[in-house]
Structure 1
Amino acid sequence: MNKATKSTVSTKLTKTVLFDWGNTLMIDFPDAQGKMCDWETVQEVSGAQALLAQLSKHHNIYIATNAADSSKGDIIRAFERVGLSQYIDGYFCKASIGLSKYDSGFYPAIIAKLDIEPQEVTMIGDTLEKDIYPALEAGLQVDWLNNEGAIADTHLPIVEVQNLTQLLEFINE
């Protein structure tokens, strides 16, 4: 596992970057019910605005979420509520592509819609099983937002950061 250290992290992201939604860019409050866009309180993950503002200058940014209850419009409304929608070029969810992240065709469907090669895309997410391993299997580059300090027993090419601020610092070096 590549820890986010100066000697091991590649600060070059691909031109196209996919982000997970819940607990990667916006906090998924465990007690909240229904669609995030309708929650009384919505909140960005610390560092999300600064990271997206910087990346959006030179990268195409998309959301790739497993949210089953929310349509593309619902997801956009949630991002609008925290001021992040201005940085997002598009949204991929179960409702828009007909597949969940657990389906092996999820990432290939996104790649086909974007009409680019898998290795030209970086997936950034917080869950190994939904975000990282399937993206690797589909040929994407990956950055794991390990904000819970989990341990992964793997020798796969996974860049690991503990928070979005750390990712931004390495990108800016």
Structure 2
Amino acid sequence: MDLNTIKVIAFDADDTLWVNETFFRDAEIAFAKHLLDYGDEEDIVRMLLDTEIRNLDTYGYGIKGFTLSMLETAHRLMGDKMNAETTSFILDKGKQMLAEPVEVLPHIEEVLEELSKKYKLVVATKGDLLDQERKLIKSGLIDYFHHVEIVSDKKETQYKKLVKHLDIEPQEFLMIGNSLKSDVIPVLAMGGYAFHIPFHTTWTHEQVDDEINHSKFRALTNAKELLDIL
């Protein structure tokens, strides 16, 4: 692996720079418990996940789309019994998630400070524009980044556009993130480098079963290992 070609390092945001998925999982459980009169907890969570995935093309990723999917799932379960109490519960849960403090993950600021001395750093993330901008500002990390790219999804096409915008070649680009599906596989397909740093909780929709065996891929256990490699 020749890392000397790398000029730009891109970081995913949610669950790579800061905690995110935990809030969704906690909200799922609270939602299911609120609706226990209408089904089994696991079945309700499964139905919510199914609704989220079906709505991705309409709402995209993020808390707002998740909140709308909770409303839709509750209506599917409750029908004409859907009431103001449940509607308020769901809307309050969404607002609560949007107001959560930003918890930067261990070693991230130290790593960004060191890498920014040698590389151009960017954020490449998907989700709601307003929410991601808010979290980046609240994290205190924004000054480390030369560019911030917030997209509706992260596929090979989006990465090619980003590389072109940055005026570099794919082999000069390294992506770091917690999702094999979004942060690794499309970047390797483009010809770039990709490092995976897992988070303890990963959304089911982002999980892949295949092992990655590629000359431009590395699996790390934490962000600090980057300083020993780059």
Shorter-chain TM-score tier: 0.7 to 0.9
| Matched residue SS, 1:64 | strand
Q: Which has the larger radius of gyration?
A: 2
| Matched-pair contact (CA < 8 Å) for 1:26–1:43 | yes
- Normalized against structure 1, the TM-score is what? 0.77
Query: Which of these residues, 114, 121, 124, is aligned with residue 176 of structure 2?
Result: 124
Matching residue of 1:156:
214
Unaligned runs of 5+ in 2: 28-62, 65-95, 202-206
Instruction: Report 1:25-104 matches (<5 A).
Output: 25-31=17-23, 34=63, 38-67=98-127, 69-71=128-130, 74-94=131-151, 99-101=152-154, 103-104=155-156
| Matched-pair contact (CA < 8 Å) for 2:5–2:171 | no
C-alpha distance after superposition, 1:77-112 (max 9, x if no partner): 322212111101111112xxxx511x4311001011
* Correspondence 1:18 to 2:10: yes
Matching residue of 1:4:
none
| Matched residue SS, 1:123 | strand
| Matched residue SS, 1:30 | helix
| Matched-pair contact (CA < 8 Å) for 2:122–2:147 | yes
The structure carrying a bigger helix percent of its residues is 2
- Normalized against structure 2, the TM-score is what? 0.59
| Matched residue SS, 1:65 | strand
C-alpha distance after superposition, 1:110-149 (max 9, x if no partner): 0111111111111111111111000001111111113449
| Matched-pair contact (CA < 8 Å) for 1:76–1:85 | no
| Matched-pair contact (CA < 8 Å) for 1:24–1:126 | yes
C-alpha distance after superposition, 1:46-96 (max 9, x if no partner): 1110000111111111111121x224xx434322212111101111112xx
| Matched residue SS, 2:114 | helix
| Matched-pair contact (CA < 8 Å) for 2:156–2:187 | no
| Matched residue SS, 2:183 | helix
CA distance in 2 between counterparts of 1:87 and 1:38 reads 24
The percentage of aligned residue pairs carrying the same residue is 26
Cα distance change of structure 1 residues 22 and 100 upon mapping to structure 2, 3 Å threshold: same
